Amino acid sequence: MNDRQANAFRIAKEAAPHITGQWRYHRLASECQRQGWATVTADSQPGRAITFRAGWYARDRITITGSLPGHFGGLESAASITVAPHRAGRSVAGDINRRLLPDYLHQWAARVAALAKDRDAQERHANKVRLVQQVLPGLRTRYGDDLFAADEFRHELGALKLWRHSGRADLTLEIDYDDLIRVLYFLKAEKIGRGQL
């Protein structure tokens, strides 16, 4: 570890207790993450983290960035500040509270809401797949994916694609002509019954 990396770790350890919202230096995350990155985490909100690292572009700066939930290891927030490596941790904590936390916490809330919306959409999609599976018990994914996460399927009658966001589906049937006419008459009668034709 070079001097700049050592300063990033020192600042993280010194700043953590003074950051608003019960933050602390996370030794294990700091040791496991990319070399030279120190991490502080929020006790009040599991998964919320701020990283300290020697600057890549500005060699004489320490870059401090929030981490957002989502993927393994988290995503970096757009909220970021840099500080001089010789500064005291308590002084840097004041900068974090003023310059980083407001934007970071706003981005965190937006990311958590987006993830919740994605989970809801995935659950609605899985419910649609379950309904189709009741009608077509031999339903399987086209590419061997998880059945409830997939969009494209195969079955004994042909192929099916469920469009997640539009609520529409594409159905390709491999049936003989007489069955095709019966299916088309049935679909037409259903549309007439619903006043769509």
Domain extent at residue 101:
3-116
- Stronger pLDDT, 41 or 35, i.e. the higher one: 41
- Cα dihedral 129, 130, 136, 139 in deg (nearest 10): 60
46 confidence band (pLDDT: 50, 70, 90): confident
Share of the chain above pLDDT 70, in %: 93
Does pLDDT of 116 surpass 70?
yes
Does pLDDT of 29 surpass 80?
no
CATH number at residue 98: 3.30.1460
73 confidence band (pLDDT: 50, 70, 90): low
Tell me, what's the pLDDT at 24? 92
Task: Report whether 102 contacts 64 (CB < 8 A).
Answer: no
Centre a 10 Å sphere on the Cβ of residue 87 and count the other Cβ atoms it contains. Answer: 16
- Over range 114-126, report the average pLDDT: 91
Does pLDDT of 33 surpass 60?
no
Q: Is residue 61 part of a domain?
A: yes
Asked whether residue 111 falls in the same domain as residue 142, the answer is: no
Asked whether residue 29 falls in the same domain as residue 60, the answer is: yes
Domain count of the chain?
A: 2
- Over range 173-187, report the average pLDDT: 90
First-to-last C-alpha distance (Å) of the chain: 73
Tell me, what's the pLDDT at 11? 94
pTM: 0.73
Tell me, what's the pLDDT at 70? 74
Q: Which of 82, 116, 150 is the last residue of a domain?
A: 116
Tell me, what's the pLDDT at 108? 93
- Over range 185-196, report the average pLDDT: 81
- Over range 73-93, report the average pLDDT: 88
Q: Is residue 131 part of a domain?
A: no
86 confidence band (pLDDT: 50, 70, 90): very high
CA distance 194 to 136: 24
Does pLDDT of 80 surpass 70?
yes
Asked whether residue 12 falls in the same domain as residue 50, the answer is: yes
The token pair that represents 81 in the structure block: 């500040």
Q: Is residue 125 part of a domain?
A: no
Q: Is residue 127 part of a domain?
A: no
Asked whether residue 17 falls in the same domain as residue 93, the answer is: yes
35 confidence band (pLDDT: 50, 70, 90): low
